[in-house]
Structure 1
Amino acid sequence: MPEHLLFRYILHTTLVVMSKHGGNLKISIKFALPLLSAFIVGFLGLLGVGAAQAATGSAGYYGPISGYSYNNWSEVYASSRTYAVARVRTTASSVPAGYMSANARLFLSNGTLCRETGHVYTGGAAKEFSLGTNYSGCALPSAYYGWSVTGAWNGGGYNYYYAPQSPWVNGV
């Protein structure tokens, strides 16, 4: 239920209870605790406190490279901390060890890179590989977005590709 509707419901319920008791607010503990809990949750919701956020960019595509094609994504999460995730997946059933790499990168909304993992390569055969930054370490408050780079083995080295940027989320 949207916060403004929850607040209106709580206010209406309180006024109904008051009118039934001659204007005096007399409610039992059985009714008061859920009412108080709903009020607190609604109030915190209006403030935006404690709301976990996540955003995933659209899928990128590249290949074939050494016979394999790939999709890649950029993701950003804000819950108890703000971090970015790079995700790459082959369209095949799997690729050999070392054929995929990912570099998760977290940016401030002004375009400043504030955290990245550096490229990490798959250690075994894999269908999908994802990697996240350990924490934001950036100036708060800010909006953040992820913009990952993933790589594919070309037989003699790596080709690197930017995944589409994720939408912004507010940091924690």
Structure 2
Amino acid sequence: MPILAPADTPVTRAILRADAELKQVAPNLTFIYDAEITPDDLLLEVAKNICECSKPHISNGSVNDKIFTKGHYGIVSCYNSLPLGGGGSTLVRLNLKAVAERSTSVDDFFSRTLPHYCRQQIAIINSRCEFLYEKSHFFENSFLVQEGLIDPERFAPMFGMYGLAEAVNLLCENAGLNARYGKK
């Protein structure tokens, strides 16, 4: 995925102009923002692009630099940052709308249903990681590890959620509230 650095360069501006003009959702594009480096007018240009074509995604460079050390990470999809030489050992996603459909109320959603499905997701993550690291011996047998291209210690399981707006709308509707996601 193309990544735009925080500095204001002619190449960065040209990519933003072309992306806004083409209005394509692919490929993903990420802008690494740094308050110390990125000028306000460039950030405004990035925001205008988001209005035109829903990208680039904005990554907080100074935060990621602290987590991974500067320059030792990659943006692998819209908001996922992973260490270089590593990656996601697994990715599970929780459909919040489906969780809301299985809830009897807003309180039930937060006190029973959501925690139940989060525990299930954690069990899935643990099972997949156990298989990857302990049963299949993937990393022990991988030429990528042997050649020093990847490091098993730089992999992390990932947990994603989707369907937030639909879940909020459904929970509000079922509670008799005249509210929608993003609106009172």
Instruction: Please tell me the TM-score bracket, short chain as reference.
Output: under 0.3
TM-score of the pair, normalised by structure 1: 0.21
Structure (1 or 2) with the greater helix fraction: 2
Structure (1 or 2) with the greater strand fraction: 1
